Amino acid sequence: MIYLQLFLSFLQIGLFSFGGGYAAMPLIQGQVVTRYGWLTMEEFTDLITISQMTPGPIAINSATFVGIRIGGLPGALAATCGCVLPSCVIVTLIARLYLRYRNMAVLQGVLESLRPAVVAMIASAGLSILVTAFWGGGEILLSNTDWSLAAIFVICLALLRKGKMDPIWVMLLAGVLKTLLACVTK
């Protein structure tokens, strides 16, 4: 039964995660944290971090991770297949339709109207992760803020946006900074 739940949960995620992995994060959170409680919010944040560090799309990496954790290798296969199946079907159908009707104004209008929704989904996921990172998912108060993580965030953001630094190096630097801060505060 758990394999079917994993398959159907990630089938829904795969079916409705327009806009890529970042847009899928609130859907993944809704299924694995809120609906089934397979992960805590802190574990979900770790999952997103791990999914970013490993090659491949976030949704597929997340499906594989959650599947392994909940149902072992068969669970990973069920969740990953559920996540991938809608994309394979939808992309095949859309590619055929797009090639045939790409110049239609209605199609262009639909594609343009989806952009704000995708941006909102990405922003929602980012804010959820930000709250978990800085306030542990608890109440947002200055006294509850993890200032070391906030400083690392600002440094990483500056390096990515202004310094155009490679994201892999930024992630490694963030890990080193947190490790150094942990050693200094002990």
Note the helical H segments in the chain.
Answer: 2-16, 21-29, 41-53, 58-101, 105-135, 147-161, 167-185
What's the rounded Cα separation, in Å, for the pair 84 and 104?
29
Question: CB-based contacts of 169: which residues, under 8 Å, 6+ apart?
Answer: none
pTM, full prediction:
0.59
Same domain, yes or no, for 22 and 58?
Answer: yes
Same domain, yes or no, for 138 and 151?
Answer: no
User: What total of structural domains would you count in the chain?
Assistant: 2
Segments forming the whole domain that contains residue 105: 2-142
Same domain, yes or no, for 11 and 66?
Answer: yes
The type of residue at 55 is P
Same domain, yes or no, for 47 and 87?
Answer: yes
Same domain, yes or no, for 95 and 185?
Answer: no
Same domain, yes or no, for 33 and 48?
Answer: yes
Sequential pLDDT tens for the chain (186 residues): 999 999 999 999 988 877 666 778 889 999 999 999 999 988 998 888 888 778 888 889 999 999 999 999 999 999 999 999 998 998 899 888 878 877 788 878 887 888 898 888 888 888 888 888 888 877 888 888 889 999 999 999 999 999 999 999 999 999 999 999 888 887
User: Taking the CB of residue 56, how many other CB atoms lie within 10 A of it?
Assistant: 10
What's the rounded Cα separation, in Å, for the pair 66 and 102?
38
Same domain, yes or no, for 96 and 176?
Answer: no
